[in-house]
Amino acid sequence: MSKHLTWTNCEHAVVVIIGIHLCSKVWTTSPRKLWKQVFTATVDLLASAVPAVGGTLEAEKTKALDDIERDMLGDGDPDANVVIPSEGLSPSEIVAMSEKLKHSHSGFASGKKWGGIYHEAGSEATKLQAEVWGMFNSTNTLYPGVFPAIRKFEAELIQMVCSMVGEGTCGLLASGGTESILLAALAYRETGRRRNITNPNIICCETAHPAIFKACKYFGIELIKAPYDSSNFQLTPKIVSRYVNRNTVAVYASAPTFPHGVLDDVEGLGKFCQSKGIGLHVDNCLGGFLLSYLKKQGLLHGRKFDFNEVPGVTTMSVDLHKYGGTNKGCSVCVFKTEELRNSTYMPSFDGCEGLYVTPTLQGSRSGATIAAAWSSILYKGEKGYLAMAKTHHNIMTRAKEVVEKIDGLELLVDPEGCILPIIPSKNSTLSIYLVASQMEKKGWNLFTGQSPAVLGLCVGDVHQKMLGEWERDLKDAVDHVKANPNEKATGNAAVYGAASTIPDTLLDSILRQYVNISLRVKPTE
């Protein structure tokens, strides 16, 4: 048999295998996504069959990882600590070292670098947090009898959040939005088991936060990703109805979505889920506090998303450490019933240690985080949150006007809060990743998303004073890209631009190694 004929047969086999694998997905997958799957499958097959292809992919991956390491770790750290010092350092030495290291955060201090801190750093509120933190640093939530103040703080934080999103609900205080979502997913898996569902699934939208992917992976739940409504980027009952089956334990909705600032059709989904007897989780991690206080002032256009207005909602994840203005490490998973919350507890009573139970995924937790968050809520108060929401509404309004004024840009969709999703206008040939790359060169690190390509501004307190500079830099960036359309994107924008064509298996490997690099100590050689 000739080499040509052998290769032709190989080509035919590749086509047939891919065709069989993808036939079932043709009707539910976007053309762009389908092409990505075809490309990934083809590359995987060729990499395993043709050594040269596998070697080329490995070389490209190594180059990408070298670039990541260079950006993150540079030439190494001359002051790296790789072993425990033989003798302890004095407090003054450690403080001096810390002050020196703090200078590396100058980009964040400038107001241009977004680090997921939604309140103004260095404010009176943050000084209060630091003071209260110090008062309760040596405490442990595992011992409520020893530290009754911490028990009080935790219970009151939960109750205050519950009163905001749903009277008569109950909750758990988690370390962040991801843990809140993990707890909700766990509750649905356990309630599903009681209904003899051994292979549970949760339906979410393609716009859902990756935390639900992690939760389902951890707990052995199938995650079904449904497309969004192309007219408004929402997850709707009509779409979900195509995916729900006898093993569905919950639907996951966002309020709002992280990429686009859009509220899924929670009201419609609530009615649908009630009719099917399945749970509805609302991811309010990003919009927590902000959306609730926008709603109280009639600034949410009548959109409904919580227990108070949508009876079908059964759980919500609400972050305190975003628009709630607390220190990092605080989120509440809210449950409609105590029975549902009880599903997350894992009591142990037959081991040598005796009786053991904790409220969340963790065991010991520092009471300092909880105490500081408690102080933040009391400091802000109802009036403070109303003012915060109004301020952020004004910032969003001004930012929308900025985008509308710049020739070549428009909004992907009119967002309800938190995120401003920017794309090239319909008649423009601009690359939004090139615009993002130029903004990065000017000191900004704006959010970039994919499918579709989007540049996002996540609004925080800092933008009240930075919006003018952001407008000037954005206009300059667009003008530069218009004048240099063939320029290559650099930095994070380049990564997102390439991700849409890189095989999924390669991306998976690179992302895993990215985490490893971030945890590496690299002394100067």
CB burial of residue 69 (10 Å; 0-12, 13-18, 19+)? middle
Distance CA 332, CA 175 (A): 8
Residue 209: is its pLDDT beyond 50? yes
Instruction: Copy the structure tokens of residue 59.
Output: 């070389």
Q: What is the chain's length?
A: 525
Q: What is the pLDDT of residue 501?
A: 67
Distance CA 125, CA 320 (A): 14
Q: How many percent of the chain have pLDDT more than 90? A: 72
Residue 57: is its pLDDT beyond 50? yes
Does residue 484 lie in a domain region?
no
Q: Mean pLDDT lowest for which of 99-113, 205-219, 389-403?
A: 99-113
What average pLDDT does this structure show over 331-360? 96
What is the residue whose two structure tokens read 């600034």? Answer: 299
Residue 252: is its pLDDT beyond 70? yes
Residue 438: is its pLDDT beyond 70? yes
pLDDT band at residue 28 under the 50/70/90 scheme:
very low
Q: What is the pLDDT of residue 49?
A: 53
Q: What is the pLDDT of residue 17?
A: 38
Q: Which residues, at least 6 apart from 382, have a Cβ–Cβ distance to it below 8 Å?
A: none
Q: What is the pLDDT of residue 103?
A: 86
Q: Mean pLDDT lowest for which of 63-67, 203-207, 234-238, 336-340?
A: 63-67
Within 13 A of 144's CA, how many CA atoms are on the CB side? 10
pLDDT band at residue 295 under the 50/70/90 scheme:
very high
Instruction: Find how far residue 13's CA is from the centre of its chain.
Output: 40
Residue 1: is its pLDDT beyond 50? no
Does residue 298 lie in a domain region?
yes
Residue 10: is its pLDDT beyond 80? no
Query: What does pTM read for this prediction?
Result: 0.88
Does residue 491 lie in a domain region?
no
Q: What is the pLDDT of residue 61?
A: 78
What average pLDDT does this structure show over 32-57? 54
Residue 325: is its pLDDT beyond 80? yes
Give tens-digit pLDDT for 259-292: 999 999 999 999 999 999 999 999 999 999 999 9
pLDDT band at residue 22 under the 50/70/90 scheme:
very low
Residue 258: is its pLDDT beyond 50? yes
What average pLDDT does this structure show over 490-515? 78
Number of domains in the chain: 1
Q: What is the pLDDT of residue 19?
A: 42
Residue 323: is its pLDDT beyond 90? yes
Residue 76: is its pLDDT beyond 80? yes
Distance CA 305, CA 362 (A): 29
Residue 368: is its pLDDT beyond 60? yes
Give tens-digit pLDDT for 172-184: 999 999 999 999 9
3-state percent breakdown (helix, strand, coil) of the chain, nearest 5: 50, 15, 40
Contact 291, 305 (CB under 8 A): yes
Q: Which residues, at least 6 apart from 289, have a Cβ–Cβ distance to it below 8 Å?
A: 164, 318, 320, 322, 323, 324, 325, 385, 388, 389
Let me know the angle formed at the C-alpha of 157 by 152 and 158, rounded to the nearest 5 degrees: 105
What average pLDDT does this structure show over 458-476? 93
Let me know the angle formed at the C-alpha of 155 by 153 and 156, rounded to the nearest 5 degrees: 65
Does residue 137 lie in a domain region?
no
Q: How many percent of the chain have pLDDT more than 70? A: 88
Does residue 446 lie in a domain region?
no
What average pLDDT does this structure show over 438-464? 92
Does residue 68 lie in a domain region?
no
Residue 52: is its pLDDT beyond 80? no
Distance CA 40, CA 31 (A): 14
Please, what is the average pLDDT of the chain? 89
Q: Mean pLDDT lowest for which of 38-52, 108-122, 251-265, 462-476?
A: 38-52
CATH of the domain at 184: 3.40.640.10
Q: Mean pLDDT lowest for which of 77-86, 99-108, 191-200, 382-391?
A: 99-108
Does residue 485 lie in a domain region?
no
Amino acid at position 101, single letter: L
Q: Domain range for residue 206?
A: 142-379
Cis ω before 424 (30° cut-off from 0): no
Q: Mean pLDDT lowest for which of 29-43, 66-80, 217-231?
A: 29-43
Instruction: Copy the structure tokens of residue 74.
Output: 């540079």
Residue 490: is its pLDDT beyond 80? no
Q: What is the pLDDT of residue 126?
A: 94
Distance CA 339, CA 191 (A): 9
What average pLDDT does this structure show over 354-358? 93
Does residue 272 lie in a domain region?
yes
